[in-house]
Amino acid sequence: MTHAVFHVPIDIGRVFPRVQEHLEAAKAFDPEDFFILSKDLSAWTSEHFFAASADVPGEEMVRLSGKSRTRVFVGPYADAKRWYEEMKTISAAHGKPEGEVNFDYTTCPKCAKHYGHNYVVGFAEI
């Protein structure tokens, strides 16, 4: 399936419920084939790219393309800076020193605490 992706540069706690509602209303949410790529822009701001199977009215739609290398990390969110640096090294090793790095956080902090694991998938542009 080709995914449309839309960009949300706002606080995760306020935006995710709204985005979920928009995805469902547009019939663009597929629970069997869904992901969110996130990129920290600063300590307080992030970008989030939601997979969507159709255009979602009221959201900024973008299409992502290119090649990435992935790596799965396990550990606390406090390790994110180290993970980011590791993914930047992977991009640089593939000739893309300014390559984009995004993460798929498979669980929220509360869920990670509940399950005892925090799996995070890093995507490094190559």
In terms of domains, do 58 and 80 share one?
A: no
In terms of domains, do 75 and 114 share one?
A: yes
pLDDT (0 to 100) of residue 2: 43
Assigned token pair, 25: 């209303």
Residue type, 89: T
**Could you tell me how many helices (H) and strands (E) the chain has, helices first?**
3, 7
In terms of domains, do 79 and 46 share one?
A: no
Pairwise CA distance, residues 20 & 18, whole Å: 5
Stretch among 7-11, 14-18, 33-37 having the lowest mean pLDDT: 7-11
pLDDT (0 to 100) of residue 1: 40
> pLDDT tens digits for 30-55?
988 888 999 888 777 788 899 999 99
- Domain end, chosen from 17, 47, 62, is at 62
In terms of domains, do 49 and 91 share one?
A: no
Q: How many domains does the chain have?
A: 2
Domain membership of residue 57 as a residue range: 4-62
Pairwise CA distance, residues 85 & 90, whole Å: 9
pLDDT (0 to 100) of residue 109: 78
Higher pLDDT, 120 or 5: 120
60-74: average pLDDT: 93
Q: Provide the b/e sequence for 68-104 (b: ≥16 CB within 10 Å).
A: bbeeebeeeeeebeebbeebbebbeeeebeebbbbbb
> pLDDT tens digits for 74-100?
998 889 899 999 999 999 999 999 999
pLDDT (0 to 100) of residue 82: 96
Count of residues in the chain: 126
Entry pTM: 0.82
In terms of domains, do 13 and 53 share one?
A: yes
In terms of domains, do 82 and 101 share one?
A: yes
In terms of domains, do 12 and 55 share one?
A: yes
